[in-house]
Amino acid sequence: MVVTEPVRRDTGPARSRRRIGAVLAVLVIVAVAVTVIGIIEGTAPATGSTHAPDAVGLIATEQDDPAASDEPRPIYVYRYVPGATFLTMTTVRNDGPVALTLLGPEAPLADIQSMSLTWADRLLLSQWPDVVGPDDATPLEAAVVDPGAEAAVWVVWRIGSLCPAGESPPLPSGSGYGFDTLGLRWSVLGVERSGAIKLGYFVEVRNPSDDPLVLCPA
């Protein structure tokens, strides 16, 4: 005769404690995940405190009309030369609670190189707060910006090269176009993100009427 013991079912206070522990563990995981997502979402580059133009290709530095803007900004006007580059400097601030890593500019649209537009080709990392010129800056690969800190970068802007040799340029004499944002890529806690920040100034590419480009370069 085989004698068997009855199966003891997990009942009573012990089972309740285990259930409560499992629920609490899930709640903790969810809370941590929400916190991390909030930190990632809340840590992004912001417009810094300093900016400057590079002299190469600069036609003029103008000012917003105070009547047309609540916060008048400088306007850096650069000469329209298809395929050429020019530079401006801006600082990027981190107002978030953790460090972020600047990775570079956002990639341009696939066909933007064939258009009469301007895009951020690459970034050069300068010293901060003692900003150095672009010749002394280094190509930015990954730059850590601590909470409350700023990083100074020279933006290498490239002008679209749609200008067949010997033909009239797509930007007529006296006309121009401009922009005031910079698309960036960065990472927070290993998660890569991208977006645009305000430059704190306006950049205009102009084909000046007093010395225009009338034919595309050969």
For 112-124, what is each residue's pLDDT tens digit?
555 558 899 999 9
Say whether pLDDT at 8 is over 60. Answer: no
Tell me, what's the pLDDT at 9?
58
Percent of the chain predicted with pLDDT > 90: 55
What is the Cα–Cα distance from 160 to 218, expressed in whole angstroms?
16
pLDDT classification of 96: cutoffs 50, 70, 90: very high
More confident of the two residues 20 and 83: 83
pLDDT classification of 6: cutoffs 50, 70, 90: low
What is the Cα–Cα distance from 148 to 49, expressed in whole angstroms?
12
Say whether pLDDT at 98 is over 60. Answer: yes
Residues 34-79 pLDDT 10s: 555 555 666 789 988 888 999 999 999 998 776 666 677 899 999 9
Tell me, what's the pLDDT at 73?
87
What is the Cα–Cα distance from 122 to 120, expressed in whole angstroms?
6
Mean pLDDT along residues 148-167: 91
Tell me, what's the pLDDT at 174?
93
149 in Cβ contact with 71 (< 8 Å): no
> In sequence order, what are the residues at sequence separation of 6 or more whose Cβ sits closer than 8 angstroms to the Cβ of residue 159?
80, 81, 82, 83, 84, 85, 86, 116, 117, 118, 205
Whole-structure pTM value:
0.80
> What rounded mean pLDDT belongs to the chain?
84
Parallel, antiparallel or unpaired: strands 100-105 and 143-145: antiparallel
Tell me, what's the pLDDT at 199?
92
Mean pLDDT is lowest, of 62-71, 170-179, 196-205, for 62-71
What is the Cα–Cα distance from 60 to 195, expressed in whole angstroms?
29
Q: What are phi and psi of 28, to 5 degrees?
A: -65, -45
pLDDT classification of 164: cutoffs 50, 70, 90: confident
